[in-house]
Amino acid sequence: MSDIVTEDWTGEVGNRWLAHIDQFESMIAPVGMALLAAADFQPGERIVDVGCGGGLTTLEIARTVGPDGRVAGIDIAPQLIALANRRRDAAGLTNCTFQCADGQVAAAEGAPFDRLTSRFGVMFFGDSTAAFSNMRSWLRPGGEAVFACWASPMLNPWIGIVGAIINRFADVPQRDPDGPGPFRFGDADQTTAMLNAAGFSDVEMTLHQADQPLGGSGASVAEAVSFVLDAMAMRDVLSAAGPDKLAEAEATLIEALGGYVRDGSVMMPGASWFVRARNPG
């Protein structure tokens, strides 16, 4: 299924993400916190956060590295960078900056950095090898990349179940598995080879598996289904498929997701890779 369209982050896609940002951020927050714990950022470190979105993870890192450290958040979507700047100003953090830029080609303000991180923000480049080669140039010799990316869709029922249901009611164009998309780095061997080709060494990939709240913490089943249909751009696809297809798909999704309700949220299994790689210099 075409779960999160990636072709136009500066326009329609970025706008859709912004409109549903509370739900998106709440859904992936548990993975983000686990990533920060694994990264173990230290006071005084210089960090660049790629695909920072609305900047919540960037701001948390800024608090961790403290006044002697610094953090730069980078994202291609200007509307998300604008939100990140507003959040930074409201938080009163002076050791954090945000830059609207394409990590595949841009220079990063404040480089060199000790470490590069990302919470699901590095799978959408047109050329992954070129992007990581460019981003490696932002790191000091011996610096580290530590980021989260989705594992295989087979390990993520939150997209596998939803996708299978929607495909029963509409002909959804399939992604190129080697092209930009959320599951681009699902294969550990391929991702390791890409990072090596980009000049990184000592690549380590650790599988992180945990339930996550579809549609955000506290979302009802109906709210989770609305999130799937609207934030993932499936409502129009189903409406175009023919009379009653949208209603039929919505009813089927509600029935299927109802079995995952726990503690007031739709908790579905998820899996991601926590990736570490070294810049040899």
Domain boundaries, the chain: 12-154+174-214+269-278
Given pLDDT bands bounded at 50, 70 and 90, which one contains residue 192? very high
What does the pLDDT read at residue 250?
A: 95
Given pLDDT bands bounded at 50, 70 and 90, which one contains residue 156? very high
What does the pLDDT read at residue 4?
A: 34
What does the pLDDT read at residue 3?
A: 36
Given pLDDT bands bounded at 50, 70 and 90, which one contains residue 1? very low
More confident of the two residues 176 and 85: 85
Cα distance between residue 214 and residue 258, in whole Å: 12
Whether 243 and 184 have beta carbons less than 8 Å apart is answered as no
What does the pLDDT read at residue 6?
A: 39
What does the pLDDT read at residue 133?
A: 98
Mean pLDDT in residue range 234-250:
90
pTM over 0.75: yes
Q: For domain 12-154+174-214+269-278, which CATH number applies: 3.40.50.620, 3.40.50.150, 1.50.10.10, 1.10.3720.10?
A: 3.40.50.150
Mean pLDDT in residue range 31-54:
97
The percentage of residues in the chain with a pLDDT greater than 90, rounded to a whole number, is: 81
* pLDDT tens-digit map of 91-132: 999 999 999 999 999 999 999 999 999 999 999 999 999 999
Pick from 4-18, 101-115, 252-266: least confident: 4-18
What does the pLDDT read at residue 184?
A: 94
- Say whether pLDDT at 87 is over 50: yes
- Say whether pLDDT at 80 is over 60: yes
What does the pLDDT read at residue 5?
A: 35
Buried b (16+ CB within 10 A) or exposed e, 108-122: bebbebbbbbbbbbb
Q: What is the 3-state secondary structure (H, E, C) of 96-113?
A: EEEEECCCCCCCCCCCCE
Helix 128-136 and helix 188-197, axial crossing angle in degrees, nearest 10: 50
Mean pLDDT of the chain: 93
Mean pLDDT in residue range 59-70:
98
Cα distance between residue 270 and residue 191, in whole Å: 19
- Say whether pLDDT at 166 is over 50: yes
